[in-house]
Structure 1
């Protein structure tokens, strides 16, 4: 979802904000960057608190960012709400979702990980 949002929402957001492609595309660039930058922090939290709690906090944080962006249509607020808050939320969801599969499956771990990541075997 993180990497495909720009394809779906770019044109409507450009029209809504009355901005060019570059500034609006930066929203999705910040979103992707924050998702990936949050990885080390999500690792520490996942090892400390567990996959379920970190994923739940990430889902709430991401939802709060996207919900907040509904109420105020401003480019800089979108950078903050969607880009930073949503990106951190997605980052807290992404890593535990991958790690939890490895913890759950004992015997066919490689097949489960490949199925989750959609890697052909």
Structure 2
């Protein structure tokens, strides 16, 4: 009787211990952050991110470094000296690079994709507002300051996002991405001249450039963040699966039928008590 009691109690205690260990393991899996430090794939979708970064750099630097094409038109429109009007383009180029520390903090908090999309919306709004400027001061605020902030929110995430997707090929991928700055610099100069000649005013040309900046929202949407894939759960009974007792309980078993495997189950506390009482009656 004492032997049967000990075996039943040991079986129940072992089942409870394994179940508790499995629950603790599940808690550890839930506490683990699968989104932290994902491994770079070094290819695959990373090349799409490189293309998106290339296009963002092309648009941002292409527009920023072709302000000189608009300078004679702006001098004539505002009736100010070239030195005063040149402050507009200088603010644009200076602010979008000087905003790096702030934009980097935003990228750490909200991610490269969200910051890039928000930056394209800010820069597009700034360029549209600049067409209504009646003085150089308003142009500095809209085109130079707000536009520079928007460009900074596009430029930095587009460079940082490439680093998440590459490790061994990071230098090649980053080189291709920043190559967009050079392509945009020499391709947007003739484009700006064509826009001024075809549409007759710098306001209309700026509206078209605002439309090009809005495309950076699409490129920013391609910069999806890397996350760890969820680890598949082990549904088979074993040491690392907390015995999966509920699944075993749902399996119908018919004893003593040929061809039907029986599933071993652990005795419950009630069954153990019945066995003990029967043994005590036999002994008495």
TM normalised by structure 2 equals: 0.40
1:33 aligns with 2:118: no
Cα separation, 1, equivalents of 2:178 and 2:97: 16
Higher helix share: 1
Cα separation, 2, equivalents of 1:11 and 1:109: 42
Instruction: Say what the alpha-carbon RMSD is for the aligned residues.
Output: 1.4
For each residue in 1:5-54, what CA deviation from the matched residue of structure 2 results, as whole angstroms up to 9, or x when unmatched? Answer: 32221111111111110011011111111111110001000111011100
- Residue of structure 1 aligned with 2:124, choices 57, 63, 72: 63
* Pair member with larger Rg: 2
- Residue of structure 2 aligned with 1:43, choices 104, 107, 112: 104
Cα separation, 1, equivalents of 2:85 and 2:165: 40
TM normalised by structure 1 equals: 0.90
Stretches of 4+ aligned residues off by more than 6 angstroms: none
Unpaired runs of at least 5, structure 2: 1-60, 180-284
Cα separation, 2, equivalents of 1:4 and 1:77: 20
Q: Which residue of 1 aligns with 2:142?
A: 81
Unpaired runs of at least 5, structure 1: none
Cα separation, 2, equivalents of 1:27 and 1:76: 9
The CA deviation at 1:79 is: 0.8
- Residue of structure 1 aligned with 2:152, choices 67, 80, 91: 91
For each residue in 1:87-121, what CA deviation from the matched residue of structure 2 results, as whole angstroms up to 9, or x when unmatched? Answer: 00001111001011111234422210111123xxx
Cα separation, 2, equivalents of 1:63 and 1:73: 19
